Chain A
C-alpha cells in the first residue's frame, strides 16, 4: 500500500506535464475510439514514437490514458451511429442502437460511460490483486518455462483469433518469419536481409505495427462501398438513470467484469471477444432474455463493463511475465524495451516500483476518462460528423511522421508501407492480423529462450518436456493444434459424406 501511495508523487513530479498528458491522452483516445476504423491500438502505436524522448513515467501516462480512453470511446459511435467505434463495442450496438432510436440516446450513453468506468476500476482492482500472486510465481520460472509459455501464447492466439485456426496459424507463421529478418538473437547472424544494411536490425516495431494495423485499416476504409450513416440525436438530461436502475445492474456488471478480466488475461483474444461473450451470458442468465436487443440497459452494461474490465486483464501477463496478450499490450511492451526493461522471470520483482506507478496511473486515467467523456459527450458526438475522407488522409500523414520519427530514416517509412500493403492484402483474404503481430513480437522472445535453453541443456530438447511447468504448456500447445486439425478433418469428412448422400 505504501508503494502504491508513493507512486502518486512520482506521477505528478511535474504536475502540469502530467495533467496535460492525462487529459490529452484521454481526449485523443476517446476520439480514436469513437471513430470507426480508428482504434485504441492505432492511437497507441501512433503516439509511441513521441514517448521515446520522455522518461518512462510520463510516457506510460500518455500510453495508458490513450488505451483507457480508446476502449471507452467505442460506445459513442456504437450508440449514436450503430457502428461500433472499436471491435470491443460490437455488443453495445445491440441495445444502444434501439435505445437511441427511441430517443433514449442520453440514457444509453450515460449508462455506457458509467459502466465503462465501473469496468475499468473493477479490472484494475483485480489486476492489483492478481499481479503479485503471478509475479511471485514467475520467479520460479526459468528459460525452459519461458519458451513454453511464449509458444503456448502463440498457439492460443492463432487458435482463438479469427474464424479459422488454419488462417490463424498461417498468420502467426508470417509474423514469426518476418521477425527472423535481421540479426539473430545470441549470435547476431544476419538473416533475410538480402544485403540491405538498413535491415540489419530487422524491421522496426513502430512502422511495422502502425503499417499492419493503421495503414491497412485506413486503406480498407477508403474502399468505395457506401454505408448510409444516420446519426441519432440526444439531449442531456441529468444523470440519465435512476439510483434503483444502477443498483439493479450491479450483479450484471460484476459478472461481466469477471468475464472481461478472465478473457483479458488469455493471450490473443481481448475486448473484441469478451463484449460478445458477456452479452451472451447476461442474456442467458436474465429473467427476461426476450427483451435483449430491443433496447434495455442490461445489454449496454454487459458489453461496456466487460470490454473495459478487459484492460486490467490484458495487463496481467504483460506486467507479471512481460509477455503481451494482444496487439495493444505488444505495443506497450515496446515502450518497456525502449526504456531498457526486458521481459523475463525477474520482470515483476525488479520493476515493482514502476508496476505500482502503472496501477496508480490506470486509476487516474480511468477517472479522467470518465469525467471527460461524461461532460464532453456533446463535443465528441459532433466530432463523429467530421467526414472520413478528410480525416483519414490526415491520420495517414501522422503515421508517416511517426515512422520516420523513430529513427529518422526514410527506410522506416518504406517498412511502414510494406507492412501496410501486407496487412491490407491479408485482411482482404480474411486472415487475422493480431497473430501476425504476436508472432512478430513474441517470436524473438521465444527464440532467445529456446536457444538459451538449448545451450544450458547441451542441445537436448527433452528437457523442455521433462520440466513440469514447461511440459504442461508444451503439451497443451500440441494438443490444441492436434485437436483442431482432427476436428477440421472430421468436419470435412462429414461434409463429404453428406454431399455423397445428397447425390
Chain B
C-alpha cells in the first residue's frame, strides 16, 4: 500500500517543483558542517572570545572545505595564524570596534 503511494507522490512533487530543485538535495554535507561550525563559533564567542574562537573556527572551516587530495594542513594553519591577529588588529585598533572578549578570561582575571 505504502509502496504504491510514495512513487506517485514523489512524481507529483517532482513535476510541481521543476527538475532543477528536485535534483538538488536540501541537505548537503559541506553546507551542514559549515552551519554546525558557525553555530559552535557563535556559542564559543561568549566564553572564549573572538581571538581563540576565530583561530579554531577558521582552521576547522578551511579543513572542511578543502578536498582531501589537495588538503595541506600546514598551509591552512599558517593562513589561520596570519589572518586572525591581522583581522583582530585592524578592527580593534584601526576601526576601533569592540570584539567579543569572552567571559572565561574576565572570570579568570577576577580570581587571580
State the A residues within 8 Å of B (CB).
49-50, 53, 215, 218-220, 222-225, 388-390, 392-394, 396-398, 400-401, 404-405, 408, 410, 413-414, 416-417, 420-421, 424-425, 428-430
SS class of chain B's interface: helix, strand, loop or mixed?
A: helix
Chain B hits for A414, CB < 8 A: 42
Query: By the criterion CB–CB under 8 Å, are B31 and A220 in contact?
Result: yes
Chain A hits for B57, CB < 8 A: 393, 397
Chain B hits for A219, CB < 8 A: 31, 34-35, 38
Shortest Cβ distance from A220 into B: residue: B31
Query: By the criterion CB–CB under 8 Å, are B30 and A224 in contact?
Result: yes
Q: 8 tightest A-B contacts by CB?
A: A389-B65, A393-B61, A405-B97, A223-B28, A408-B98, A222-B34, A222-B30, A428-B26
Query: By the criterion CB–CB under 8 Å, are B41 and A430 in contact?
Result: no
- The complex places the Cα of A417 from the Cα of B96 at a distance, in Å, of 24
Chain B hits for A218, CB < 8 A: 34
Q: Report the number of A-B residue pairs with Cβ-Cβ less than 8 Å.
A: 89
SS class of chain A's interface: helix, strand, loop or mixed?
A: helix
Pick the contact of A404: B95, B96, B100 (CB < 8 A): B100
Question: Chain A's nearest CB lies how many Å from the CB of B110?
Answer: 19
Question: Chain A's nearest CB lies how many Å from the CB of B112?
Answer: 24
Chain A hits for B99, CB < 8 A: 401, 404-405
Chain B hits for A430, CB < 8 A: 17, 21
Question: Chain B's nearest CB lies how many Å from the CB of A398?
Answer: 7
Question: Chain A's nearest CB lies how many Å from the CB of B32?
Answer: 9
Pick the contact of A424: B21, B30, B31, B62 (CB < 8 A): B31
Chain A hits for B38, CB < 8 A: 215, 219, 396, 417, 420
- The complex places the Cα of A388 from the Cα of B100 at a distance, in Å, of 26
Question: Chain A's nearest CB lies how many Å from the CB of B91?
Answer: 5
* B29 on the A face (CB < 8 A): yes
Query: By the criterion CB–CB under 8 Å, are A389 and B87 in contact?
Result: no
Instruction: Given A222-B31, A424-B31, A428-B26, verify A397-B46 contact (CB < 8 Å).
Output: no
Chain B hits for A424, CB < 8 A: 31, 35
Chain A hits for B42, CB < 8 A: 400, 410, 413-414, 416-417
Pick the contact of A397: B24, B79, B87, B97 (CB < 8 A): B87
Question: Chain B's nearest CB lies how many Å from the CB of A160?
Answer: 19
Query: By the criterion CB–CB under 8 Å, are B98 and A400 in contact?
Result: no
- The complex places the Cα of A215 from the Cα of B31 at a distance, in Å, of 11
Chain A hits for B41, CB < 8 A: 400
- The complex places the Cα of A11 from the Cα of B28 at a distance, in Å, of 48
Contacts A50-B97, A400-B41, A417-B38 given; 10 further ones with Cβ under 8 A?
A390-B62, A393-B58, A393-B62, A397-B57, A404-B99, A410-B42, A410-B100, A414-B42, A417-B42, A428-B21
Query: By the criterion CB–CB under 8 Å, are B65 and A223 in contact?
Result: no
